[in-house]
Amino acid sequence: MIWSSFLAAALLLQGTSATPIKRATDTISKRAAKAKFTVKDTKAFAGATELKTSNSVLSLKTAGVKAKGSSALHNAVRASTGRTLLIPSEEGAGYSVNITFGGKTFEVILDTGSSDLWLAESGVKCVDVDMDPVATAECGFGPLASASFQDGAIANENFNISYGDGEFLTGVLGYENVGVANITVDKQEVALVNYAYWEGDNVTSGLMGFAYPTLTSAYRGTDASVDNENTTAVQYTNWIFSAIDQGLIDPMFSLAIERGSNGGGGQLALGGLPSLAFNHTFTSTPLKIIELTPHAVEAKNYSYYTIIPDGFLLSGEEETYYGFQEFSEDPSTTYPVIVDSGTTLVYLPERVADDVNALFDPPSVYIEEEGVYENYCDAVPPTFAIRINGTDFYISGAELLLTGELGYDEYTGGCVTGVQPMDGIYILGDVFLKNVIAVFDIGASEMRFAPHEKY
């Protein structure tokens, strides 16, 4: 599709009064902050964990599903902005790992923005988007788990999780031995799903969350329709925190997500660093407690892996650095961002995303109906970096413009850009993570990043 046709389609979707985005070269003007969260001060670090190559490394696989992760985050975004974090064409956007569950191997989606481990059980009942019953095969689960636990289901407790695109799963909780790489947690609390609306890939059987236990999805009672996050939620220790608490691994894990035409692969390292080659010059920054929603537990405890960057560097006709404080009339305003493997794109303050997209050659166009910026699939991206504790982490042009099946929009003939606008909740997803080695140092309450430029 030629640019004029693509632009015409974009203008049709935006309405006849819409105009294409113009190339921006002026300094960004200040405007009031619209953040809907509170940032809490964090306690002093307990001391950074020693960085060494892990003996427990396993491969990440490209999953043939949407980036399903971060249910709580998707729901927080939907509640505060009315939007979801889904892009027009993101099949193959998730990443999966193999685990053992009760001695059997299953492939599950890995997500750093949620906390539960769930598998679909034998006999699971499926429904479609209209809540009408459908065959189990319509859910697209991989191999199903046995519908039983070591000691039976936990009495008077239910599992209930939903996603920003309308998918949901309910079930029961119990205890099972769960292995990841060469690390096994005995009698880990997990969920078996027995009722679902799901759009799977017929390979992955569930999802494993590595965020803080604050975000687990267990509730008192057996009626999911009355579950309430403030009054009936039951927090439990998820797998990664169980492994740390039991001294099975050092209190950290790290991710290396590699580039590929439709997502790539990479490594998950437990208790240390991945084994692949990379520049071992790390930059650290503290994790923050944020309140995205009025949930009492989340407001007082760590939940997502959240940091506060310094700002960003953007190069078009000239190179300019902008601190995030430029976007608020209040110089004390900060812009925390969530580091999340379960989100495909990077979501930043609207004016930041607008300026990044305006400096593509040609400038990108915002597709109102799709809720994303798009461009020619052979457009030239600008130079863009996120500055974290004084270090600039550059995002490759291969991630600033998502070509191939991952970002191609069949409706417009354009490709989705990697940096998108969001009001209130900001996220560094896989578009950022493919350019760094990310260390989630739970013991020191900090994140560490090193450039990952070797492909």
For residue 362, whether the previous peptide bond is cis, meaning omega lies within 30 degrees of 0, is yes
Rounded to whole angstroms, the Cα distance separating 263 from 269 reads 19
Residue 340 known to be catalytic: yes
Gyration radius of the chain's alpha carbons: 21
Within 13 A of 158's CA, how many CA atoms are on the CB side? Answer: 18
Which residue among the candidates 111, 201, 227, 310 is catalytic per the annotation? 111
Cβ neighbours around 298 below 10 Å, total = 23
Residue 378 known to be catalytic: no
Which residue among the candidates 201, 340, 354, 409 is catalytic per the annotation? 340
Rounded to whole angstroms, the Cα distance separating 70 from 81 reads 16
The residue type of 319 is E
CA 16 to chain centre: 35
Question: Token pair for residue 115?
Answer: 């906390």
Say if strands 391-395 and 383-388 run parallel, antiparallel, or are unpaired. Answer: antiparallel
Rounded to whole angstroms, the Cα distance separating 48 from 377 reads 42
Rounded to whole angstroms, the Cα distance separating 319 from 338 reads 26
Between vectors from CA 303 to CA 297 and to CA 307, what angle results, nearest 5°?
135
3-state SS, residue 75: helix
Say if strands 38-40 and 57-63 run parallel, antiparallel, or are unpaired. Answer: unpaired
Question: Token pair for residue 432?
Answer: 């950022």
Rounded to whole angstroms, the Cα distance separating 93 from 263 reads 6
Say if strands 283-286 and 446-451 run parallel, antiparallel, or are unpaired. Answer: antiparallel
What is 379-447 written as a DSSP string? Answer: -B--EEEEEETTEEEEEPHHHHB--HHHHB-TTTS-EEBSEEEESS-EEE-HHHHTTEEEEEETTTTEE
Rounded to whole angstroms, the Cα distance separating 76 from 80 reads 6
For 374, left (φ over 0), alpha (ψ -120 to 50), or beta?
A: beta
Contact of 409 with 450, CB cutoff 8 Å: no
Question: Token pair for residue 454?
Answer: 């070797």
The residue type of 37 is F
3-state SS, residue 232: coil
Q: Which residues are annotated as catalytic?
A: 111, 340
